[in-house]
C-alpha cells in the first residue's frame, strides 16, 4: 500500500483509510479484529471511527467501535505505528450538552473517546458535522486547548459545505486558532457534485487532506446491484437502491470494462478513480470480513489510464 501526506499535518498515511462504522454493528468484535489485522498486514496505517458509532443499532449505546479498536490496539501493542482518527458531534448522553460542538460537549467527549480507545492522544479529531448553534470560534478554541494539552494532534471537519469550511478557515486565521487540516466529504462516482462543485478547489488551494466517505455508494459500486436482480441482503441496501436506474447502471458497465482490463474488482476501480480527484488523500473503506476487504485492497496499487479516467468522468457526469 502506498502512503500520502495528509494535508499539512506532516503525517504520512496509507492511501486507503479503514472506516470502522460497522464494528459492533454488522461486524462482531472477532470479525472486526480480523479486518484490522488484514488491513495492517496489507500496509494500511490509517483508521477512522467516531464516538457515535453505532448508536443507531439496537442495544448499541455508541462508543462501541472505539472500544473495539482500543482493545485491539492494546492486544497488538501497535499504537505507535498507526494513525487513529475519530469524530465528535453526535448525541452521546442526555441533556442540553449531550451533542454538538460546544466547549462543554467537546471537553467531555474527548475524555470518553480517549478512554475507550485506550490512548493518550488522538491523531485526528474531527467535527462529525457542523453545529449551527455553536460559534465556530468556540469550537476551535476548545480544540486549541486539546492540542495544547497533548490530547489531540490535528483537527478536521466532516460534512461541511464550502461556505462553512471557508468560514472556519477564516476564523482560524483571524484569531490565530488551529485550522482544519482535513475534510471528510461524501464523494463517489454516483455522488460527485457535492464535493466537486466548490469543495474540491477550496481543499486543493488550502492543502486540506480529503478522506471521502462512502466511496462505494453503500456498496452499489461493488457491482452487486444489477438490473433485474433482487438487491443483496445488506444493512445498507436501502441507500444503494437510489442508484438503481439507467444512469447508475451505465456507471457499473463502465466499471466492468475497466475492471476486466486490469483483472481486478469493480470496487477497486471505483476507489482508484476516487484517488484521482483533487486533494484526495485516502478514501474511507469498510468491510465486515477479511474476504470483503480483499476485494478493495487492490485499489491501493491500481493506476488508471487517462482514457479510463476520462470515460468514467463522462459516464458519471450527471451525478
Each residue of 54-109: pLDDT tens digit? 999 988 999 999 999 999 999 999 999 999 999 999 999 999 999 999 999 999 99
Name the 3-class secondary structure at 145: helix
Taking the C-alpha atoms of residue 197 and residue 74, their distance in angstroms, rounded to an integer, is 42
Q: Tell whether the model's pLDDT for residue 237 goes beyond 70.
A: no
Please check whether residue 187 is in contact with residue 270, taking contact to mean a CB–CB distance below 8 angstroms.
no
Taking the C-alpha atoms of residue 6 and residue 264, their distance in angstroms, rounded to an integer, is 27
Helices (DSSP H) in 126-264: which residue ranges?
136-148, 162-175, 193-196, 199-206, 237-240, 246-262
Q: Which helix (H) or strand (E) holds 274?
A: helix 266-274
Residue count of the chain, please give it.
Answer: 319
Q: What are φ and ψ of residue 191, in 5° steps?
A: -155, 75
Residue 276 CB-half CA count within 13 A: 20
Each residue of 5-61: pLDDT tens digit? 999 999 999 999 999 999 999 999 999 999 999 999 999 999 999 999 999 998 899
Taking the C-alpha atoms of residue 293 and residue 38, their distance in angstroms, rounded to an integer, is 8
Q: Tell whether the model's pLDDT for residue 155 goes beyond 90.
A: yes
Please check whether residue 146 is in contact with residue 123, taking contact to mean a CB–CB distance below 8 angstroms.
no
Q: Which helix (H) or strand (E) holds 268?
A: helix 266-274
Residue 311: the pLDDT is 98
Please check whether residue 51 is in contact with residue 86, taking contact to mean a CB–CB distance below 8 angstroms.
yes
Catalytic one of 53, 125, 195, 243: 53
Residue 224: the pLDDT is 86
> Which residues face 84 on adjacent strands?
47
Q: What average pLDDT does the structure give for the chain?
A: 96
Q: Tell whether the model's pLDDT for residue 241 goes beyond 90.
A: no
Residue 235: the pLDDT is 60
Q: Are strands 122-127 and 209-210 parallel, antiparallel or unpaired?
A: unpaired
> Which residues face 14 on adjacent strands?
3
| Percent share of the chain, pLDDT over 70 | 97
Q: Tell whether the model's pLDDT for residue 234 goes beyond 90.
A: no
Task: Mark 100-113 as b/e (b = at least 16 C-beta within 10 Å).
Answer: bbbbebbeebbebb
In terms of Cα–Cα distance, which of 118, 121, 115 is closest to 148?
A: 121
The percent of the chain in helix, strand and coil, each rounded to the nearest 5, is: 45, 15, 40
Q: Tell whether the model's pLDDT for residue 316 goes beyond 70.
A: yes
User: Has 53 been annotated as catalytic?
Assistant: yes
Who has greater pLDDT, 49 or 233? 49
Residue 278: the pLDDT is 87
Q: Average of pLDDT values for 273-290?
A: 97
Kindly state the cell numbers that stand for 59.
442495544
Q: Tell whether the model's pLDDT for residue 140 goes beyond 80.
A: yes
Taking the C-alpha atoms of residue 187 and residue 195, their distance in angstroms, rounded to an integer, is 6
Amino acid at each position: 500500500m502506498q502512503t500520502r501526506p495528509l494535508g499539512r499535518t506532516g503525517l504520512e498515511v496509507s492511501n486507503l483509510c479503514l472506516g470502522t462504522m460497522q464494528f459492533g454493528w454488522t461486524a462482531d468484535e472477532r470479525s472486526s479484529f480480523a479486518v484490522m489485522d488484514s488491513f495492517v498486514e496489507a500496509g494500511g496505517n490509517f483508521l477512522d471511527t467516531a464516538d457515535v458509532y453505532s448508536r443507531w443499532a439496537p442495544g448499541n449505546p455508541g462508543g462501541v467501535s472505539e472500544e473495539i479498536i482500543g482493545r485491539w490496539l492494546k492486544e497488538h501493542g501497535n499504537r505507535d505505528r498507526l494513525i487513529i482518527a475519530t469524530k465528535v458531534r453526535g448525541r452521546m448522553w442526555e441533556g442540553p450538552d449531550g451533542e454538538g460542538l460546544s466547549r462543554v460537549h467537546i471537553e467531555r467527549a474527548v475524555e470518553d473517546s480517549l478512554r475507550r480507545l485506550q490512548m493518550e492522544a488522538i491523531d485526528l479529531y474531527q467535527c462529525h458535522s457542523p453545529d449551527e448553534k455553536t460559534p465556530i470560534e468556540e469550537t476551535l478554541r476548545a480544540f486549541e486547548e486539546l492540542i495544547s494539552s497533548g490530547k489531540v494532534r490535528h483537527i478536521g471537519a466532516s460534512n461541511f459545505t464550502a461556505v462553512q469550511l471557508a468560514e472556519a478557515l477564516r476564523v482560524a486565521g483571524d484569531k490565530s486558532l488551529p485550522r482544519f487540516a482535513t475534510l471528510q466529504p461524501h464523494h463517489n462516482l454516483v455522488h460527485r457534485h457535492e464535493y466537486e462543485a466548490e469543495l474540491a478547489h477550496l481543499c486543493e488551494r488550502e492543502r486540506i487532506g480529503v478522506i471521502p466517505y462512502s466511496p462505494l455508494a453503500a456498496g452499489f459500486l461493488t457491482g452487486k446491484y444489477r438490473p433485474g436482480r433482487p438487491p443483496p441482503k445488506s444493512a445498507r441496501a436501502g441507500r444503494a437502491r437510489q442508484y438503481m436506474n439507467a444512469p447508475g447502471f451505465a456507471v457499473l458497465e463502465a466499471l466492468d470494462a475497466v475492471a476486466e482490463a486490469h483483472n481486478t474488482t469493480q470496487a477497486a476501480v471505483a476507489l482508484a478513480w476516487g484517488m484521482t480527484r483533487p486533494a484526495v488523500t485516502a478514501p474511507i473503506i469498510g468491510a465486515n470480513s477479511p474476504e470483503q476487504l480483499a476485494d478493495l485492497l487492490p485499489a491501493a496499487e491500481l493506476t488508471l489510464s487517462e482514457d479510463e479516467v476520462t470515460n468514467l468522468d463522462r459516464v458519471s457526469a450527471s451525478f
